[in-house]
Amino acid sequence: ARAGLTVTGIDVDEPSIERALAQDSERITYIVGDIFSTDLEPADVVYSGAMLHHMDIEEGLERLKSWVAPGGRLCIVGAARATWRDLHREVGASIADKAFALVKGSWQHGSPTAWPPPHTYRDVQAAAAKVLPGAEYKSQLLWRYTIVWDRPSDA
């Protein structure tokens, strides 16, 4: 919003929207609602943060995809459940996370949580490949993943 973009934030949790409004409401429209019942015009950039593990992953990806304008970009940061294949990465990250929390404190956001996430990294990667052909998927540390997908200009 500070860069002059039109920004809309959507959350089903009204207290989360109220906290967001208290932080910054200039040039940002906030909607209490869910992504399946909220209609928005296609946008050049659609961002989803820590949301998809609260719903069916393919349905959520399809809905977010529908909001991306031709030539636009979908950016997702999500939470996934680790399996034994991921332990080498998650053990070290978890130790670093605990050390950081001891030094800096932990963030208590107050929003509803779904933990552990129902989808594994492999579930998310497979859903992204199916729904968002050509998407860049990356497993990140601390049970996170990122997906970046560009809608073709002629789509």
The structure tokens listed for 34 are 């869910």
Residue 69 sits at the vertex; the CA angle it makes with 65 and 75, to the nearest 5 degrees, is 50
pTM attached to this predicted model: 0.87
Q: In angstroms, rounded to a whole number, what is the distance separating the alpha carbons of residues 113 and 142?
A: 15
What sign results for the dihedral spanned by CA atoms 46, 141, 138, 122? negative
Q: What is the pLDDT of residue 155?
A: 64
pLDDT for residue 111 is more than 80: no
pLDDT for residue 143 is more than 70: yes
**Domain definitions of the chain by residue range:** 34-150
CATH of 34-150, one of 1.10.1040.10, 3.40.50.300, 3.40.50.2300, 3.40.50.150: 3.40.50.150
Render pLDDT for 51-93 as a digit per residue (tens, 0 to 9). Answer: 899 899 999 999 999 999 999 999 999 999 888 888 887 787 7
Residue 100 pLDDT grade (very low, low, confident, very high; cuts 50, 70, 90): confident
Q: What is the pLDDT of residue 89?
A: 79
Percentage of residues in the chain having pLDDT higher than 90? 56
Q: What is the pLDDT of residue 128?
A: 98
CA-to-CA separations, 112 to 11, 52, 81, 145, 152, in angstroms, rounded: 11, 13, 17, 19, 35
pLDDT for residue 108 is more than 70: no
Residue 58: how many CA atoms within 13 Å on its side-chain side? 7
Residue 104: how many CA atoms within 13 Å on its side-chain side? 9
Q: What is the pLDDT of residue 63?
A: 97
pLDDT for residue 117 is more than 80: yes
Render pLDDT for 1-23 as a digit per residue (tens, 0 to 9). Answer: 888 888 999 999 899 899 888 88
